[in-house]
Amino acid sequence: MTSNGVFQILLYCSLILALTKPAGAFMARLFAGERTFLHPVLRPFERLCYVLIGVREDAEQRWTQYAASLLSFSFWSFLLLFLLQRWQSLLPLNPSGFGPGVTPDLAFNTAVSFVTNTNWQSYSGESTYSYLVQMAGLTVQNFASAAAGLAVAIAVIRGFARQQTNTLGNFWVDITRAAVYILLPLSVLAALFFCSQGVIQNFTPPTVVTTLEGQQQVIAQGPVASQEAIKMLGTNGGGFFNANSAHPFENPTPLTNLLQMVLIFVLPAGLTYTFGRMVGDQRQGWALFSAMSVLFLAGVFVVYAAEQAGNPNLTQLGVASIASEDQPGGNMEGKEVRFGIAATALFATITTAASCGAVIGMHDSFTPLGGLVPLFNMQVGEVIFGGVGAGLYGMLLFAILAVFIAGLMVGRTPEYLGKRIEGKEVKMAMLGLIATAAAILLFSGASTGFTANLNNGGPHGFAEILYAYTSAAANNGSAFAGLNANTPWFNTTLGIAMLIGRFLIIIPMLAAAGNLASKKRLAVTSGTLPTHGLLFVTLLIGTIVIVGALTFFPALSLGPIVEHFLLQQGRLF
C-alpha cells in the first residue's frame, strides 16, 4: 500500500463523514413534512405532483397499503420499461436504429433489474438500447427505484419512531418528496459538474473515426451525464456504456471519480443520521454509521492490500510488484491506469458495499481475496451503507437480530429503541435472510452446469456464477464479468433473484415496521440494553459477519477461498 493510496481512502472517508449530518438532517426535516430551504422553489412542483396522481398529502397508510402502493408502482414501472424495450424500434431517438432484437427474457431481466434498483446489465448499453430507452426508461427508473427505496427506509424508521399507531406514512408522498427534493436537484448539479469535466450529453449518432493505425473505430455517443449522476446518487450502477465508469465518457477525471464515489455513499450515510434524528436519539444513528464504517474500512483495506500485493506467481517471474515512481506495482489487470490500484480498490468496495454496482475496474480480474470482499459485501445484504434506503432497512434487519440474540443476555425481553423485539419481528427478519440466501445459493447451485457460459473454469468459474446471483439477489448489479448472462436461463433466474432480493426484504421489513409502530415505546432504564455504544456496534458487526460468514462460507470456500490457496501454490484459472 502506498501513502498516496491510503490518503485517497482517508480523504474519501472524511468527505462522507462531513456530509452525513447535513444530508441526514435535510432528509429528516423533509420526511417529517417540515420546510426546507428548497421549499420556496420546489414546493409548487411537489403540490402539482399530488394533484396529478390524486393523492392527499396527509393521508396515512398502514403497512399493507404502503407495501401495496410500492408493489403497484413497481409493477407499472416494470411494465412500462418492458414495453419500451420491446418497441424501441418503433419509437424516436434511435439514431443507431437498434432493432427489435431485445428478446423477451432480456427485456424482462433489464426491466426487473432497473425497477429493483439492481441495474444488472445482461446487455451492452451502447449496442442494445436507443437513447429513448436509456433516458426515458432506464434513467427514469434510476430515479424511481431509488426514491422508492428511500421511501421504504423512511417508513421503516417511522415504525421505530412512532408508537401506538397503525400507519407508516404515505408511500406516494414519500416517494415524491424523495425524488423532487433530493434526487432531482442533486442529480442536476452533479450532471452539470460531470459535463464540465468532459462527460458527454448529446443525441448524436455514434461517431466513426479512423485511428492512427488506419482502422475504423465507432465511438458511442449519447445522453450520458444525465444518467451518470443518478446512476451513482441512486446507487443504481447501470452504466450507459458497457465499460461503466471505467469508460472515459462516463468518468473522465479523478475529480469525477471522487464525486461518483461520494454520490454513492452520501444518501445511505446520511440516512443513518436521519434515523437517529427521527427516533429521537442521534447516538443510535451514529452507532449504525460506526458499524457500517468499520466493516467498510476493513473491506477497503483487504481489497487494497490484496490488489497491491498482486499475483505472487508473476513476482516469481520477475515482474516488479512493488509500487515505485515509475509503475504502480501490484495487480493492474482489469484496472484503468487513470485511477490506479487504490482508487479501484476503494471504488470496488464502495460499489459493492452500497448496492450500486458501477465499476471502474473488472472485479473478475482482481486477486481471489480482492474479489472475495465485494462478494462478501453483497452477501451480507448490502448493509454497509448499502443502497439508497435499502442499506438502512437491511441494517435494521440485522439490528433486530443482534438485539434479539444478545439482548436476552441482559435478562429482559429484547428491545430496540424501546420497542420489544418479539416473534413477529424475528419472523420477518429471518424471512428476509432466508429469501436472499435461498436466491443466491439455490440458483448458483442450479447453474453450475452452465460451464459453457463461463470464461474460466474451476473455483474461479464458480465464483463468476456465485457473484452473478449474489449481485442480483443483493440488488447490486455489478458483474464479476466472465459470465455470459444474456441467455434465457440466466436472464430469467437472475430476474427472479432480483425480485426476491428486493421485495422479500422490503415486504417483511414493512410488516415488521407496521407491527413495531403499533407497539408502545418502553421506558429506558439502566436495565435496558444500550444500543448506542461501542459494545452494541461490536455486537452488530459480529452478527453481520458471523451470520453472513456462516451462510456463505461453504460456497465461498469453493470459490475465492480455495482459489486463493491454489494461487499460492501456483495454480491459476
Partner 1 sequence: MTRSRPLSDPAILRRALRDSFVKLHPAKLIKNPVIFVVEVGAFMTTALLLRDLATGAADTGFNFQISLWLWFTVLFANFAEAMAEARGKAQADSLRKTKTHSVAKRLQPNGKTEEVSASQLRAGDHVICETGDTIPGDGEVVDGIATVDESVITGESAPVIRESGGDRSAVTGGTRVLSDRIQIRITSNPGETFLDRMIALVEGADRKKTPNEIALNILIAGLTLIFLLAVVTLQPISASSGAPPSVAVLVALLVCLIPTTIGGLLSAIGIAGMDRVMQYNVLAMSGKAVEAAGDVNTLLLDKTGTITIGNRQAVEFLPVAGVLETELAEAGQLSSFADETPEGRSVVVLAKEKYGLRGRELSHHEAHFIPFSAYTRMSGVDMNSDHLRKGATESIAQFVREQGGAVPDELHDLAARVSRQGGTPLAVANGRRALGIIHLKDVVKGGMKDRLAELRRMGIQTVMITGDNPLTAAAIAAEAGVDNFLAQASPADKLNYIKKEQAEGRLVAMTGDGTNDAPALAQADVGLAMNTGTMAAKEAGNMVDLDSNPTKLIEVVGIGKQLLITRGALTTFSIANDVAKYFAIIPAMFMTAYPALGALNIMGLHSSQSAVLSAVIFNALIIIVLVPLALRGVKYRPESAGALLRRNLLVYGLGGLVSPFPAIWIIDQFVHALGLA
Q: Which residues bind partner 1 (CB under 8 A)?
A: 401, 404-413, 418, 421-423, 425-427, 430-431, 433-434, 437-438, 441-442, 444-446, 448-449, 451, 458-459, 462, 520-523, 525-530, 533, 535, 538-539, 542, 546, 549-555, 557-558, 561-562, 565-566, 568-569, 571
CB-wise, 263 or 529, nearer to partner 1?
529
CB of 397 to partner 1, least distance (A): 12
CB-wise, 262 or 556, nearer to partner 1?
556
**Biggest distance spanned by C-alpha atoms of the chain:** 78
CA distance 296 to 316: 32
CA distance 74 to 524: 39
Instruction: Identify the CA nearest to 125 among candidates 245, 242, 249.
Output: 242
CB of 409 to partner 1, least distance (A): 4
CB of 541 to partner 1, least distance (A): 12
Q: Which H or E run contains 112?
A: helix 104-115
CB 529 within 8 A of CB 340: no
Instruction: Identify the CA nearest to 476 among candidates 315, 393, 570, 353.
Output: 353
CB 259 within 8 A of CB 233: no
CB-wise, 64 or 528, nearer to partner 1?
528
CB-wise, 108 or 376, nearer to partner 1?
376
Distance spanning both ends of the chain, measured CA to CA: 26
CB 395 within 8 A of CB 268: no
CB-wise, 232 or 373, nearer to partner 1?
373
CB of 564 to partner 1, least distance (A): 9
CB of 299 to partner 1, least distance (A): 19
563 three-class SS? helix
CB of 568 to partner 1, least distance (A): 8
CB-wise, 104 or 530, nearer to partner 1?
530
Q: Which three cell numbers stand for residue 525?
A: 432504564
CB of 48 to partner 1, least distance (A): 42
CB-wise, 252 or 542, nearer to partner 1?
542
Neighbours of 176 (CB within 10 A): 23
Question: Using the 8-state DSSP alphabet, how is residue 436 labeled?
Answer: H
Instruction: Identify the CA nearest to 335 among candidates 319, 346, 326.
Output: 346
CB-wise, 17 or 409, nearer to partner 1?
409
Neighbours of 201 (CB within 10 A): 17
Torsion of CA 544, 545, 547, 552, to 10 degrees: 130
CB of 325 to partner 1, least distance (A): 36
CB-wise, 259 or 567, nearer to partner 1?
567
CB 560 within 8 A of CB 443: no
CB of 129 to partner 1, least distance (A): 34
Phi-psi sector, 570: left (phi>0), alpha (psi -120 to 50), beta:
left
